Structures are given as C-alpha cells and as structure tokens.
Chain A
Amino acid sequence: MRVICTSIASQMTRSLVITSLFIIVFGTIFLSWYNINHEKESYLHESQLQADLVVDLVTAPLAFFDVQGISTNINPLRKNSHVLLAVVYSADQTPLTSFNPHHRPIPQLNLPLGTRYDNTGWFPWDVEKLSTTLEIKQNSQLLGYLYIERKTDRITSFVMDLVKSVTIFSFGLLLFVYMVSRMLSKKILQPILTLTEAAKEVAQNNNYSLRVTHDKDDEIAYLYDAFNHLLSDTESLTTHLESRVASRTQELQDSLETLKKAQLQLVESEKMAALGNLVSGVAHEVNTPLGNAITGGSIIVRETQQLLRQIEEGTLKKSFMEQKLNILNETADLLLKSVNQAANLIRSFKRISVDQSVEDKQTFNLYEYLEEILLTFHNKLKKIPVTVHIEGDTKLVIKSYPGVYAQIISNFIQNSLLHGFNESTLDATITIRFQIDENNLILTYADNGAGMDEKIKKTAFEPFTTTKRNAGGTGLGLNIVYNLITQKLLGKIILNSETQKGASFTLTLPLEQSVSGEHLQA
C-alpha cells in the first residue's frame, strides 16, 4: 500500500507560501531600494532647497560686506539639527562666518559645486555625510560661496524604520498567505481527498459497490461521476468475470485439443512420409543386387542346361566342361556377392527402422551409423550428384537414441536435397563433422546449397514452415528436428545460413544424457 508522505494540501500550502515568500522578499528588496533612494533624493532635494534659501538670504549682506548680517541670515540652519557645519566664504574662498555647533575644523572650500553624499558605500543607506557647496551670485557677479555639511542619520533612521515596518508587514503577509492557502486548499482539495479515501477503500476491500456523492456542479462533479461510472463498470465486470473466464478457458482448452490432434496427425503424416521414403529407398537399393543375383541365377541355369544336354548327347568335351565350370564359378561368385550385398542392405534398413521404432538407448559407433544412414540416400545423392564427407573419430562409441540421430540426419539430407540442391548444382557437398568438447558432442551438418534468407531463418524451426509445399514439403521437418534435439536429446541447435552460401546446423548434445562414461571411447 502506498504511503502518502506529503499530502496535496501541504504541497499546495507550501507552494503558495514559498511563492509568496519569493514575491515578498524580492518586492521588499525592490521597494526598500526604491524608497531608500527616494528618501535620499528627497533629503538631498530638501537640503538643496534650504541651501538655496540661505544663499538668497546671505546674498545681500555679502554684497554689502555685512558679516553680522550674513551670520544672522544663516539662522534657518541653526534650527536644523542635521546640520553639522555651515560656512560662508568670500569670492576668494576666505571663510567669513560659520555655523559650527560641533566645533569641526573649518575646511578648505570643498568644490565641486552642488549637493552630494560623501563616501557612498555599496548599499544605498551606507553614506557618511551630505555636503553642499553653492556659489553666491548676484547679477552674474560671484560674491562668495556657501558650504554646508549635514548628518545622514535621517537616512539611517528611515532605513531602520523601513526594515521594521517591512519585517512586520512581511511576517503578517506570510501568515495571512499561509492561513488563506490552508483555507483554500481545504476547500478545494476536500472533495479530492474524499475521492482518495473512496479509492483507497475500493483498492483495499474490492468494494466496487461504493459510490461517492457530491452537491457541486464543477470539474469535481465530473470527476465524481466518472469515478462512479468506473466503479459501476468494474462491479459489472467483476460479477461476470468468473463465468466468462471459465467459458474462455473451456474454449481455449478445446482449441488446444484440436491443435494437438492436428499436430499429431501432421506428425504421423510426416512419419509415414519418412517411412515411405525409407521403403522406396530400400526397394531401390535392394533392386540392384537382386537384379544381379537373378542375372547370375539365369546364367547358371542356362550354362547348367547346356552341360546337361551335352552329357546326355555324349558330346561333352573336357575343354568345354572346364569353360562352363569357370563361367558357373564366376557367376555363382557374383550371385553370392549380390545376395550378400542385398542381405547387408536389408540388415542396415532393418536396423534403422528398428532404431526408429525402439525408444531405448543403445550403444553404437557414431561414424559407422552415419554411414549406414547415408546408404539409404545413396541413389538420391548420386542423382544430383552430392559428395558427402563425414569427419570425426571413426572409433567414437556413444550411448544414445540412434533412431533420433537417423531422423535428424535424414531430415537434414532431405532438406538439402529438396531445398538446397537441384540438378544444376555444381560440386554439391554435404559435410557432417563431429567432435567431443568437454562433456558435449558437437555435431555440425553443413551443405553448400541455396541457403536461406533471413525471413526463412527466423521461422525455420517453427512448424509448417516450408518453401516447397507444392513439391512435397510439409514444413514439419526442422520442427521435428528441433523437438528431438531439445526434448529427446536435451541439447541445443544453432542455424547459420546465408542466401547462396549454404546452410549449417550446429548441434550441442550433452554427453551426460546421450552417452555414459563407460561407453565413451576415444
């Protein structure tokens, strides 16, 4: 169950408070900066005005050399507690009179003219004093100068007051924003929280009969209706789910049975086709030695009859007798060889057919067994013709299912003959190579035929994959091979092929399963 660490209401409140905090901080900085500068400008302007007034007052006394009058007329400055020093200089910059409540040294005239803050620091309130230097002129005639120094504690005091006010206001505003955001989040999010609780109840107890109610006509109402609709649908689905699952399962089982039957039928068809091929091969192979035996038998009968006729007529000569006996001897030898060949063939066919029908493990020489399998394809291989190389230890004996090996190799050869080669193929070669690698038998079957493209390669081991369905291919050959290798021999098969570069199958067959230690011989 998911644990909610931070609720939406808290997130909303936090977001609003943080946003407000940013706005307040930046707004406060901007407004403070602006107000401090404005206060400075105002103080500067005020000082300038007062200085101008004093200049007006002292102009006439200065013009008429009345120092007493000058001193009297700088009286407005005496009432101003911010004034540190005021000095009236003559036109040649000689100090004439001063107002100096703090007994500061009378400075040399501080030009340039104008009113300005001295020693201004980085912060707008970081100033030491305000100084004013003005010319006293009448009718464009320079009569003297007025120099005034002022304290800037008014600015400092303003800054302190501003900081206090801003701090109190900011805290108040933040508190207000916090309370408003709490109230709003409660009002806005309550329906969503109710919905969350309902969803939790449904998730925990599968209570799909639950419904949420509302008295609003907004997006929340739409959400509630959609939630109720979803619950209704889910309830309906849940109620009928079991019967639908049972019905579908039955349908699937029926389909599976049908498919299995079809597969079995197809496999049986394939087996029958393979058996037909085997019988056809057997008949064809045995036909030749039997034909030779019949010919030999006919010769023996004919020569024997000639001998018997001459014996009856009494015309038999020794030389004739020797000639016929030689013929009879050679023919009988040929006959015996043919019959022996036929007997060998029959033995091999019998063994293969018996191996295919018997499922027990047998001990056999792999090299010789592969040669016997090839015998059944002797005529078909000769027809193209195809050269077959078997490379491997001729003395290797393994314990496994020889019939499975026969089926695998037969399918490979049939595929090569049917798909890989045709009568125009030159230098057609099949190579069967085997070796022991640790505890595995690595058997490689390769031809240099037409190969497969990528599309065929991807589906080669899937059932019913063939490019020659009209020419007798069932598409089951490689699937049977795959099943025999993976299920019967518990091995692996890898297919490598490129178009016009042949096909090769690499079989990795575990020896623990296919051969017992006592039978493994190098």
Chain B
Amino acid sequence: MKKFFVALFCFFYGSSLLAVSEESIKAAYLERFTMFIQWPKPIESYTICVYDDDSFAQTLQKSYSSRLFNNHPLKVIPLKVGTPSEEMIKCHILYFRGSKPHQNEALLNTLRKNNVLMISDDDDDVKRGAMIGFYLQNNSFRFLINQRNLENADLSVSYKLLNFATVIEPTGGSK
C-alpha cells in the first residue's frame, strides 16, 4: 500500500505516466471518493459495478483482494452492455468505463432512488446524470462533480472534496 502511494506521488511529481497505470490511479481515486462521500444507509461492504470493462473490474478487485477498501470489504461486479437496471441498483458505485447505457430519465431516477454513485470517464456525463466525471489536464487526472446530481441521489459530499474538485453548478456552469 505504502509503495503504491509513493509511486502515485512520484507520478504526480512528474515521473512518467508509465510508472503507474491509469487503472491503478483511477482505482485509488474510487476509494478516495468513498472517503468524502456518505451514503444515507450504513455500509458494511462496498459494491462497485464496472460497466463494460472486465479488465478494470479484475484489476480493481485484485488491488483490494488483500486489503480493505476505505475500511470495508470490496466487491467488484463487472456489468455487460445491456445489463438491466435491476442489476445496477445493487451497486454503491456505478463506474462507466467504456460504452454507456442510454441514460433515459427512468434509469436515472431508479439509480438516484437507490443512492447509486455514478462515475464516468467522460466528463460530459456529469451534465447528463453522472455525479463525477474524469478528465485529463496537464498530464493529471482531474474530475468534475455535479453537486445537484449528488443531492438528488441523497449522497452527502464533504466540503473538502467540493473545495478541491471542479464543481458543476446547477445552471450547468463550473467553478
């Protein structure tokens, strides 16, 4: 774990991107998100659904096979394209890696009602329904947060995270 973080910091200090993989960075980011976001119900173990990227799902599961994910066990569920929404509502985090299901209002409502944190690799998704979207800036991964979407899903986010991230205003702008 320590080596992992040292590697991450080396990366941020300008080392090669090759030193640490994008998957590793995002896997770490997912855990860090859970530190700053609170679900309305107590969590005994985290369930992360990875949509359309089995490889990442395996990597993520492998990363936390011998250690806890934010002090809790982690279960990673890879989702295929076309997985019905009933499967999706079992997840605490739904991470869209590749393609995405059509985000119609009914699906979004179902997911919000079940307090599912939606994270996407496409930062434009935060304007549609996702709460967090990654983007690359100056060779570093950054993320957008849609505070309204988080509130709609009854998810509480720490002001510390809001202060650090780029937050999409309800009107659609960012700060």
Q: Which residues of A contact B (CB under 8 A)?
A: 56-57, 59-61, 63-69, 90-92, 94, 96, 138-141
Contact = CB atoms under 8 A, between A and B. Distances in A.
Interface stretch (B28-36, B57-65, B147-155): B28-36
* Residue among B6, B71, B163 with the highest chain A CB neighbour number at 10 A: B163
13 contacts: A56-B163, A60-B160, A60-B163, A61-B164, A65-B8, A92-B2, A92-B6, A96-B9, A138-B36, A139-B35, A139-B71, A140-B71, A141-B35
A66 B12 contact: yes
Contacts of B165: 60
A94 B140 CA distance: 22
B160 A59 contact: yes
Given A56-B160, A141-B70, A141-B71, A63 B12 contact: no
A63 B159 CA distance: 14
Contacts of B159: 56
A64 B11 contact: no
B164 A66 contact: yes
A184 B115 CA distance: 83
Contacts of A57: 160, 163
Given A60-B163, A60-B164, A141-B71, A66 B140 contact: yes
Given A138-B35, A138-B36, A139-B35, A64 B164 contact: yes
Given A92-B2, A138-B160, A139-B71, A63 B32 contact: yes
A66 B164 CA distance: 10
B65 to A, nearest CB: 19
Given A63-B36, A64-B29, A65-B12, 5 more contacts: A56-B163, A92-B6, A139-B35, A141-B70, A141-B71
A56 B36 CA distance: 12
B35 to A, nearest CB: 4
A397 to B, nearest CB: 139
A141 B70 CA distance: 8
A96 B12 CA distance: 11
A64 B12 CA distance: 10
* Residue among A64, A69, A138 with the highest chain B CB neighbour number at 10 A: A64
A63 B161 CA distance: 9
Interface in B2-17: 2, 5-6, 8-9, 11-13
Contacts of A96: 9
Contacts of B5: 65, 90-92
A92 B2 CA distance: 8
Q: Is the interface of A mostly helix, strand, loop or mixed?
A: mixed
B12 A67 contact: yes
B35 A63 contact: yes
A69 B9 CA distance: 12
A65 B7 CA distance: 10
Contacts of A66: 12, 140, 164
A91 to B, nearest CB: 7
Contacts of B164: 60-61, 64, 66, 69
Given A60-B163, A66-B140, A69-B164, A90 B9 contact: yes
A425 B29 CA distance: 140
Contacts of B71: 139-141
Contacts of A56: 159-160, 163
Nearest to B20: A65
* Residue among B29, B158, B164, B165 with the highest chain A CB neighbour number at 10 A: B164
A70 to B, nearest CB: 10
The 4 nearest A-B residue pairs measured at CB: A60-B164, A139-B35, A60-B160, A138-B35
Contact of B9 (A63, A67, A140, A141): A67
A67 B2 CA distance: 17
A67 B13 contact: yes
B36 A60 contact: yes
Contacts of B29: 64
Nearest to A69: B164
A352 B11 CA distance: 154
A56 B32 CA distance: 15
A65 B28 CA distance: 10
Nearest to A141: B35
Contacts of B35: 63, 138-139, 141
Nearest to A137: B35
A141 B5 CA distance: 14
* Residue among A56, A59, A60 with the highest chain B CB neighbour number at 10 A: A60
Nearest to A57: B163
A141 B36 CA distance: 11
Nearest to A143: B35
A66 B5 CA distance: 12
Contacts of A64: 29, 32, 164
Contacts of B13: 67
A318 to B, nearest CB: 184
Nearest to A144: B5
A64 B142 CA distance: 9
* Residue among B2, B28, B140, B160 with the highest chain A CB neighbour number at 10 A: B160
A60 B9 contact: no
Nearest to A59: B160
A67 B28 CA distance: 16
A144 to B, nearest CB: 10
B11 A65 contact: yes
B89 to A, nearest CB: 24
Contacts of B11: 65
Nearest to A61: B164
Contacts of A65: 5, 8-9, 11-12, 28
A91 B8 CA distance: 13
B16 to A, nearest CB: 15
A66 B14 CA distance: 11
Nearest to B32: A63
A363 B2 CA distance: 143
B23 to A, nearest CB: 15
Contacts of A67: 9, 12-13
B68 to A, nearest CB: 10
A184 to B, nearest CB: 65
* Residue among A94, A139, A140 with the highest chain B CB neighbour number at 10 A: A139
B156 to A, nearest CB: 12
Contacts of A68: 12
Contacts of A69: 164
